[in-house]
C-alpha cells in the first residue's frame, strides 16, 4: 500500500525505533507513547483492520501474539502485566488503517477505557 504510513515504516521510508523484525511482522515504539512502554506490533502484509482478518490471513495474527509474548518478557513487563489493544474503525479510535496491536505497560492502566 503506497500511501499507508505503517507500510512506509515497514519499507523504511519513514524512520522508526524497531524492537523486533522478521519476515512477517515488525514491532516499533509508538511515536506518542501513552505509557512507559508503548510498542506497536504490525503484520508486514497490509491488512486494514480487524474487520479484514479471515481464515486466509489470520496465521500472522497468532504469530503477532507469540512475538508480543517474547517482547513483554524482554521488556520486563510480563510479570506486572500489560495491555494489548487493537482499535478498529472510527468508533474504536483507529487512526492508521493498517492493523496494529498496541502493547501498553509500565504503569497501572485504567479500566474502562474512554
Ligand atoms: P490507532 O489510534 O490505534 O490507530 O494507533 C495509531 C498509533 O500510531 C498511535 O498511537 C500513534 O501515536 C502511532 N503513530 C503514528 N505515527 C507514527 C509513527 N510515525 N511512528 C510510530 N508510531 C506512530
Ligand atoms: Zn499498510
**pLDDT tens, position by position, 25-77:** 999 999 999 999 999 999 999 999 999 999 999 999 999 999 999 999 999 99
Closest residue by Cα to residue 25 from 10, 8, 43, 45: 43
**Structure-block grid coordinates of residue 67:** 512475538
> Where do the domains of the chain lie, and which CATH numbers do they carry?
5-105 (3.30.428.10)
Contact criterion met (CB below 8 Å) for 75 and 9: no
Percentage of the residues of the chain whose pLDDT score is greater than 70: 100
- Looking at residue 110, its pLDDT comes to 96
Cβ(4)–Cβ(64) under 8 Å?
no
**Residues 30/38, Cβ–Cβ less than 8 Å:** yes
What pTM does this model have?
0.98
Q: Which of 41, 53, 37 is nearest to 88 (CA)?
A: 53
Q: Ligand 1: which of 9, 17, 40, 100 to mutate, most ligand atoms within 8 Å of CB? A: 40
- C-alpha 83 to ligand 2 mean position (Å): 23
In the predicted structure, residue 9 carries a pLDDT above the cut 90: yes
Amino acid at each position: 500500500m503506497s500511501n499507508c504510513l505503517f507500510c512506509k515504516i515497514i519499507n523504511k521510508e519513514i524512520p522508526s525505533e524497531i524492537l523486533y523484525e522478521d519476515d512477517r511482522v515488525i514491532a516499533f515504539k509508538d511515536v506518542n507513547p501513552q505509557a512507559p512502554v508503548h510498542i506497536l506490533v504490525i503484520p508486514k502484509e497490509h491488512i486494514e483492520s480487524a474487520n479484514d482478518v479471515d481464515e486466509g490471513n489470520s496465521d500472522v495474527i497468532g504469530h503477532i501474539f507469540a512475538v508480543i509474548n517474547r517482547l513483554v518478557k524482554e521488556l520486563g513487563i510480563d510479570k506486572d502485566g500489560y495491555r494489548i489493544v487493537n482499535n478498529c474503525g472510527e468508533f474504536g479510535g483507529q487512526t492508521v488503517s493498517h492493523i496494529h496491536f498496541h502493547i501498553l505497560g509500565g504503569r497501572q492502566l485504567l479500566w474502562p477505557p474512554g
